[in-house]
Structure 1
């Protein structure tokens, strides 16, 4: 090592003399630097197609100098690679140059003191080395006469930082041990190597993992021939292609652009998030989802993406209120901590295996992200039947699955040994795994015993039970047939009331895979919501009335009557209904991005909503409400406007949903009274909550709350601040009075904010939540204020519930004891208000 240092020092002095004394020394041009040229501060070289440029740039505070590669044709000049990321240039940048030297090195030199600040390495020597910036963004050092990529002396693609460029092969060479992996920047203005890294992990069957130091914080799941198991939304598209390459030397992952006009920025952030953006020239910025042809890619996406959150043999389900459950036939290892939300110890088998007797069976689990494969074994040529036999013969094998699902029924064999770690439920495109179980777990009538008397007794008991069961079944069928005939008459009468297409129960059942839990996409006061696909390929959302629902037939009819007569671009479209037997269902168009609350209140997803998107959502909701209050054939008051009742389509356009609690008022009436207060706490106006008076101004109040939530990314109900005990409305009003409204802004909007527009929107939101109904504007005025920046706004007065936090809290508590409120903000009813 000492001799190498001396050699580099000698080389630096020789290069210094060469640069100082050579009058023919020239600046680099075009895409190549040869041994007679230098690159100084202010100079750049560009790739042959003009896509990338290499040069010195400044970053940080105070400024530090770096050599890096940037997009050339994008105004943002986004940096994609940094050479001297861990040794920034702090001295006078004019003293620093980039130089190519024999035997094939690329050096950053300080020509003032002949110091080598950064250098590449080489495994062999050439007589005429050059450095070239390729149009892929790869900076290479090669022999001037040899352009074969296999003979490159060095290339930047072997040392990616936080940007994963198309063409970079990330993985490991199992012969040499060399690994190519990503290392995130330490912060947004510090490109030095941080603790966050991303690897294509070759231990077991390949999967991509993100680590913080040595700790895994996220994994994609294994490659299944189409995509990573845990990223179902990473579908094939016309923009780029991606694949896993495996051979005897190693394994790598890579993706390639199919269109040269597209710019992709796939980055690993200092927070450990892998996110993809694409440059949209019309908007002049990077967008996470520029169009309908490509899904948004951000991982980790939710809490279930946190590695091992449910412990060994646990199953994470983001749509389940408990988040973590045990795999079927497993129990919590420690019940007390598990029930309190400490799931780290995971689950254990309910019944121990008995592999030596050969009686174990395998149970299929479908719709899941496959467990961690770091301790797995695989064979890419076996059939599923052969895979089962291999697992059955090995008592250490706990589960098996196919490797490749690109063809039906799939191929290859993947075996797991020991506990199953980091498994989650996926609502769509999940995979199947077969888990070893004790045979007794599947026994129905008879146990397994060597005592013949016990067997005969079990058979006798089973026979008597069967006879008794058949008798009950016959009686039940008779009663059922009588009940069905009675129901048919009622259904015929009900169906005549609805002017909507009627779906058969069998059609809905097939479309939702028999209401599979994997198809469940939501839950509310009405019941469960499932995603389905009709026979013609149309995606639908099915709202199924639960028998234990807080809403019933009246709300069901109410939603059909109102929404069937309402046609507006900002309302979710009702396609039809199903009324058959005990079942009552509503069938809607499927909203790709689900509900607004899933974005604005999520620390990761909220990054996807920049200010122009949020402002568009606010305007869309306002237009929908204006149509309800003024332009529809019925004057309708929604009564339950909230973030979870605003759905987002593929292009993030808002659609108001859930009209089950809506009421119409006739003629010029704008107000009504009820003894049954319904709605969601946090969004209900004071006069409605306390006195049962609802009006179009009640909806205006809810809209104002929603505006402030969209801007702040915080819920009104449950909002807390270290300096006071006000709710979100009170906090916003206090900032408004101090002329500090901009402090309400969601931190993720800092890069996209239009400060005057945001402050004006907060002002409008506060006008909508004023205590007195007569002070609040109607929706036509609200829309005018939003779209006309020259319109003067009146001063906002104190909002409703601003001074009543204790009263509201007590109401929450008393309501909770009656079971009227749940943490997912379902609608509720309060009987006989004051």
Structure 2
């Protein structure tokens, strides 16, 4: 056998051995890497230029330089896999490095130190020494020090030190805001000085003093904002803090600790709470689709959240102008200051307290006063609380401690009451009972020495009759004459201002035709100017309108107490001399259909305005369905019932057909189907079943109409005989949804992803099966860009129409501002 090795064979063997060696080396390296990662990927030192990634790849630790601060280096933690550089924690925030010579390492006792040219710039601490200390970045974003010799499970939180104990301007899921009640150690947030300077800024956000169970914002040593005390469900001044699909939250009292914390319901979602340089607290959620942080909410709602804006015994209501006023039985301490909008000195009592015989005025759904001078007891009920406060002459107010489970606990205030805000909460709001002199005129639900005094507000009229008796008798008479029915009026439904006929005649110039805004089956609407200068819309019930009487009752029962920026505000009513009149805030831009269905006027609605209108309607409906005192179903949501203010902010109006669901009800049935063709859901129009999902269907129709500028009913397209819903569905299935957009929308404001998402959400809302439609809370999140959207099914009322015998104009004539609302009576 010839065993001669040719040069070629030699070369091949050498190459093979080299490749095999490389392969073995790579395998060994991989095994070492895997072994290290299995042991939670720890490290003992980190130089500038090196990074350490959390086990799940969510966060990264390393050295960085803030944009615009080229000569400063910091050790920080940031999100690993998003393009927007987002730092969530900084070690040496107050002692930056000036070059790239820094090293972060573990010393033998188990202390993290940042060394620069052999000089310690920053260090952690430890409560006990460790034999083999190592550092590790958890996938929660928590940098921890553990003793490797103890084989510690990081999930057990047996850490020698952790960065979560020292938040910066960012609160991540699992971090705490609060205190250890034994050691006094506090967890708090502190702002950056600027985006280029992570050193501690002027603001801190923390829990209030021990036992007060509220969060406060401090600018230096001055309080700027407070959330109000925890009521078992949320903070009393934080109505926007409500259950949501992104995170859960709680105020926990755990052994020797009391703290606020939150956790994500879906770990694939990125969400963070940030204290900005200006002292505002924002929550951001990362949206993959847009590749940007979405501002989910801001803790401070408006100027009424400015601490003590209205001074002692002042009350702030953003719906009023000016926002500050005095509590009942109080007047400005320095009236001249109030004339120039300086409310800081607050209000004083008109009548001094006498202790014995004092009364307690009840305020509904308020942000409770500052708790700095308060006392609480968790075991007392509200009756016991009332008795204790009544007997203590120094007690100025009392309230429940918790509103969950029917209301438990007692909180009492001593001294001046500061930082009260009225927001007309209709869900999870709290009641506050404020001590007043007995000589002050008591109103409904006033308490005198623990006994409720049922005194109804007196209206001045020719007969000087009680409002309650007058209204009840009048309406019963009207009902008996027109329907043979009796409407039993509840006094709590009548808490709104009463106007006399003379003032309405003056305001409308005797219901002049020149002041007429529109007319419907209920009667007419007129523009008016009250004597105090307020512009109003006056809705006058026709004396011959059967449906209008029902509308009138529903407006009083459903909208009188509802307060939301996307609901039209009811100023009051007039029931006198055979007149039944409702007085609303005036909307200068009329109704939505006045714009979107007119080719010329629709040009003033660019995409930005249309998208804001869609979102405003969604938030208004969400309030009705979820946050109002009862679950209100509008039943006649349409473009004609969406009014627009001077800034094109949408306001849902006309609650004449609304119904309420109480308790755990989710739907109801009626023999009297009422609504408007083209907007009614199939299950309601056909079977009489209505629910919140009925409104969702109407909302979906409205969304598609706003986008397209076309009415659903009477829609015409030369290529098919589908209505607008069918047309939108057809375009969607062909990947041509953008063609639905009204051609009058200018290109400059169009955001393609928002248009496509809005069409998608609209189609989800008009699906045939109510269970397939999203809730309004889900729809609001979908519109904001929260996550992937499910695929819609065919819309309800999708079948093609036979238009062969129907004359349809390609350019329909202008319609009235209000489509016909119909009533269908069915035997059952």
TM-score range, shorter chain: 0.5 to 0.7
The answer to whether 1:628 aligns with 2:615 is: no
For 1:236-255, what aligned pairs fall within 5 Å after superposition? 236-246=243-253, 249-255=256-262
Tell me how far 1:321 sits from its aligned partner. Answer: 1.3
In 1, distance between residues paired with 2:184 and 2:467?
69
> What residue number does 2:378 align with?
380
In 2, distance between residues paired with 1:76 and 1:131?
26
In 2, distance between residues paired with 1:335 and 1:589?
31
In 1, distance between residues paired with 2:642 and 2:52?
61
Tell me how far 1:547 sits from its aligned partner. Answer: 7.2
> What residue number does 1:416 align with?
413
How many aligned residue pairs are there?
A: 540
> What residue number does 2:439 align with?
440
Tell me how far 1:474 sits from its aligned partner. Answer: 8.8
The answer to whether 1:155 aligns with 2:125 is: no
In 2, distance between residues paired with 1:120 and 1:174?
22
Seen in structure 2, the aligned counterparts of structure 1 residues 299 and 122 have a Cα distance that, compared at 3 Å, is same
Contact 2:495 2:560 (C-alpha < 8 Å) held by counterparts: no
Structure 1 unaligned segments of length 5 or more: list them.
1-25, 290-296, 445-468, 496-502, 521-525, 528-544, 565-575, 599-620, 662-678, 684-701, 704-778, 790-834
Aligned counterpart for 2:745 among listed residues 783, 791, 799: 783
The TM-score, its normalising length taken from structure 2, stands at 0.56
Contact 2:592 2:643 (C-alpha < 8 Å) held by counterparts: no
Tell me how far 1:362 sits from its aligned partner. Answer: 2.1
> What residue number does 2:110 align with?
104
In 1, distance between residues paired with 2:276 and 2:96?
20
Seen in structure 2, the aligned counterparts of structure 1 residues 563 and 233 have a Cα distance that, compared at 3 Å, is farther
The answer to whether 1:650 aligns with 2:650 is: no
> What residue number does 1:305 align with?
305
Seen in structure 2, the aligned counterparts of structure 1 residues 230 and 406 have a Cα distance that, compared at 3 Å, is same
In 2, distance between residues paired with 1:49 and 1:642?
41
In 2, distance between residues paired with 1:232 and 1:121?
39
Seen in structure 2, the aligned counterparts of structure 1 residues 559 and 229 have a Cα distance that, compared at 3 Å, is farther
Tell me how far 1:77 sits from its aligned partner. Answer: 3.5
Contact 2:493 2:560 (C-alpha < 8 Å) held by counterparts: no
Tell me how far 1:556 sits from its aligned partner. Answer: 7.0
Seen in structure 2, the aligned counterparts of structure 1 residues 651 and 384 have a Cα distance that, compared at 3 Å, is closer
CA deviation digits over 1:499-557, x for unaligned, max 9?
xxxx99879x89xx62657xx9xxxxx99xxxxxxxxxxxxxxxxx9777559586677
CA deviation digits over 1:649-688, x for unaligned, max 9?
2279999778999xxxxxxxxxxxxxxxxx97xx9xxxxx
In 1, distance between residues paired with 2:182 and 2:548?
62
Tell me how far 1:338 sits from its aligned partner. Answer: 1.9
The TM-score, its normalising length taken from structure 1, stands at 0.56
In 1, distance between residues paired with 2:508 and 2:246?
46
Contact 1:221 1:372 (C-alpha < 8 Å) held by counterparts: yes
Seen in structure 2, the aligned counterparts of structure 1 residues 71 and 636 have a Cα distance that, compared at 3 Å, is closer
Structure 2 unaligned segments of length 5 or more: list them.
1-32, 444-459, 525-545, 570-590, 622-636, 650-740, 752-828
Tell me how far 1:339 sits from its aligned partner. Answer: 3.0
For 1:603-752, what aligned pairs fall within 5 Å after superposition? 625=595, 627-629=597-599, 648-650=616-618
SS at match of 1:223: coil
In 2, distance between residues paired with 1:372 and 1:37?
48
Compare 29-38 and 432-441 and name the one that shifted more: 29-38
Aligned counterpart for 1:220 among listed residues 227, 239, 247: 227
For 1:287-436, what aligned pairs fall within 5 Å after superposition? 287-289=294-296, 297-355=297-355, 358-408=356-406, 410-428=407-425, 429=427, 430-436=429-435
Tell me how far 1:342 sits from its aligned partner. Answer: 1.3
Tell me how far 1:38 sits from its aligned partner. Answer: 2.2
Tell me how far 1:190 sits from its aligned partner. Answer: 1.4
CA deviation digits over 1:249-289, x for unaligned, max 9?
34211111121121112101001111111111122111124
Tell me how far 1:562 sits from its aligned partner. Answer: 13
Aligned counterpart for 2:493 among listed residues 501, 514, 528: 514
Seen in structure 2, the aligned counterparts of structure 1 residues 189 and 30 have a Cα distance that, compared at 3 Å, is farther
In 2, distance between residues paired with 1:307 and 1:50?
41
Seen in structure 2, the aligned counterparts of structure 1 residues 81 and 287 have a Cα distance that, compared at 3 Å, is same
CA deviation digits over 1:181-239, x for unaligned, max 9?
00011112211100110010124521100111111111000000000000112112232
SS at match of 2:404: coil
> What residue number does 1:84 align with?
92
> What residue number does 1:824 align with?
none
Tell me how far 1:55 sits from its aligned partner. Answer: 1.2
Contact 1:594 1:649 (C-alpha < 8 Å) held by counterparts: no
> What residue number does 2:82 align with?
74
In 2, distance between residues paired with 1:485 and 1:255?
53
Tell me how far 1:473 sits from its aligned partner. Answer: 6.3
In 2, distance between residues paired with 1:333 and 1:43?
63
Contact 2:313 2:326 (C-alpha < 8 Å) held by counterparts: yes
Seen in structure 2, the aligned counterparts of structure 1 residues 581 and 268 have a Cα distance that, compared at 3 Å, is closer
CA deviation digits over 1:154-207, x for unaligned, max 9?
111111011111111211222212111000111122111001100101245211
In 1, distance between residues paired with 2:466 and 2:371?
52
> What residue number does 1:169 align with?
176
SS at match of 1:648: helix
Tell me how far 1:316 sits from its aligned partner. Answer: 0.3
Seen in structure 2, the aligned counterparts of structure 1 residues 127 and 406 have a Cα distance that, compared at 3 Å, is same
For 1:565-576, what aligned pairs fall within 5 Å after superposition? none
Contact 1:399 1:434 (C-alpha < 8 Å) held by counterparts: yes
Contact 1:174 1:249 (C-alpha < 8 Å) held by counterparts: yes
Seen in structure 2, the aligned counterparts of structure 1 residues 646 and 217 have a Cα distance that, compared at 3 Å, is same
CA-atom RMSD in angstroms: 5.1
Contact 1:210 1:219 (C-alpha < 8 Å) held by counterparts: yes
Tell me how far 1:394 sits from its aligned partner. Answer: 2.0
In 1, distance between residues paired with 2:475 and 2:742?
50
> What residue number does 2:125 align with?
121
In 1, distance between residues paired with 2:57 and 2:395?
54
Contact 1:646 1:656 (C-alpha < 8 Å) held by counterparts: no
Seen in structure 2, the aligned counterparts of structure 1 residues 386 and 651 have a Cα distance that, compared at 3 Å, is closer
Contact 1:29 1:44 (C-alpha < 8 Å) held by counterparts: no
